[in-house]
Amino acid sequence: QVQLQESGPGLVKPSQTLTLTCTVSGGSINSDIYYWNWIRQPAGKGLEWIGRIYISGSTNYNPSLKNRVTISVDTSKNQFSLKLSSVTDADTAVYYCARGVGTIENNCDVWGQGTLVTVSS
């Protein structure tokens, strides 16, 4: 049973870089079947896709965030990470990591529990 767990600071100052890590357990991240996604959800609002990475290192990003986002993978640790630079209040949200199946389907069949990140000075 694959499980995902997000980790990282719960509080980030404005203009700084938000960094989160997703640890995959119960299975290998080094699979050519899956894409590894980051998704966020501001309080009381809907889901927003941030981006994803394939095991080859190939990435896709939300155009609205592309200039600030970097997603990377560390197969030796079975982890993938999110960096979001120049954060503002608008980046306050619950951040989820999720496993996606299919190149054009990206069905997210496994999700982490989510981690709240607050941007505040």
Partner 1 sequence: SFALTQPPSLSVSPGQTATITCSGDKLGDKYTCWYQQKPGQSPVLVIYEDNKRPSGIPERFSGSNSGNSATLTISGTQAMDEADYYCQAWDTNTVVFGGGTKLTVL
Which residues sit at the interface with partner 1, rule CB under 8 A?
Answer: 37, 46-49, 52, 60, 62-63, 96, 100-102, 104-109, 111-114
d(CA 95, CA 82): 10
Shortest separation between residue 107's beta carbon and partner 1, angstroms = 4
Kindly list the distances between the CA atom of residue 90 and the CA atoms of 1, 38, 87, in Å, as whole numbers in the listed order: 34, 16, 8
Amino acid found at 112: G
Of 44 and 120, CB closest to partner 1: 44
d(CA 121, CA 110): 33
- Closest approach, Cβ 41 to partner 1, in A, equals 9
Question: What is the smallest separation between the CB atom of 121 and partner 1, expressed in angstroms?
Answer: 27
Tell me if 80 sits within 8 A of 52, measured CB to CB. Answer: no
**Between 16 and 62, whose beta carbon lies closer to partner 1?**
62
Nearest to partner 1 of 90, 104 (CB atom): 104
Give the Cα separation of 44 and 21 in Å (integer). 24
Tell me the C-alpha distance between 7 and 58, whole Å. Answer: 23
| 49 versus 80: smaller Cβ distance to partner 1 | 49
In whole angstroms, how close is the CB of 102 to partner 1 at the nearest point? 7
